[in-house]
Amino acid sequence: MPQTCRLALLAATALLLAPPGRGMAAVYDWSATTGGATASGTFLTADTPLGGPYLITGMTGTIEGVAVTGVLPAGTVVGGVQVDNLLYMPAPFLDWPGVGFTLAAPIGGDTTGAFFYDSAGPNYGYANTAHPFQGITLTSFVVTPASAVPEPAGLLAVGVGLLGLGFARRRAGRLAG
């Protein structure tokens, strides 16, 4: 196999097998229950060095049948506490200030809310203006890795590498024939 072909194949393989980290955003599924109410959806996190918390940059899903429409900026006050929108590793978990989000329709009179972890409990909770922090304890709150989402530059590099590999193989076939 020609040297160019081997290099293109190696580059494409490295990009495809790269773990979430530099150049990658990670997606996490979340679900919560309390009493008869359920909620579920996904978190999209920003690229973060390994070992640090991930900044939640996007959130989708439903809470009590109401659509989650986005993430509030870090530092926004929800239920009396400023959210930080951080997701910690290695086992995905939220911290005390938690993640703030917006809703398509009011729940408890508010179109914003937050999920958080209360280490004094230890429990996960839900808060909004009507229900300040520690107002509603969640029966369960689970966050699991969904998949890695390559950013456009990474996909472009893989595409160029595979295209180069195809041209190299075609050229090698012509030279041999």
Give the residue, 10 or 87, on which the prediction is more confident.
87
- How high is the pLDDT of residue 6? 56
- How high is the pLDDT of residue 133? 62
Most confident range, picked from 56-65, 124-133, 165-174: 56-65
Give the residue, 25 or 6, on which the prediction is more confident.
25
Which contacts qualify for 5-12: CB closer than 8 Å, 24 or more apart?
A: 5/165, 5/168, 5/169, 5/172, 8/161, 8/162, 8/164, 8/165, 8/168, 9/161, 9/165, 11/157, 11/161, 12/158, 12/161, 12/162, 12/165
Confidence of residue 105 (pLDDT cuts 50, 70, 90): very high
Q: Are 57 and 74 in contact (CB under 8 A)?
A: no
Check pLDDT > 60 for residue 131: yes
For the stretch 33-76, pLDDT in tens is 887 788 999 999 987 655 678 899 999 999 989 999 999 999 99
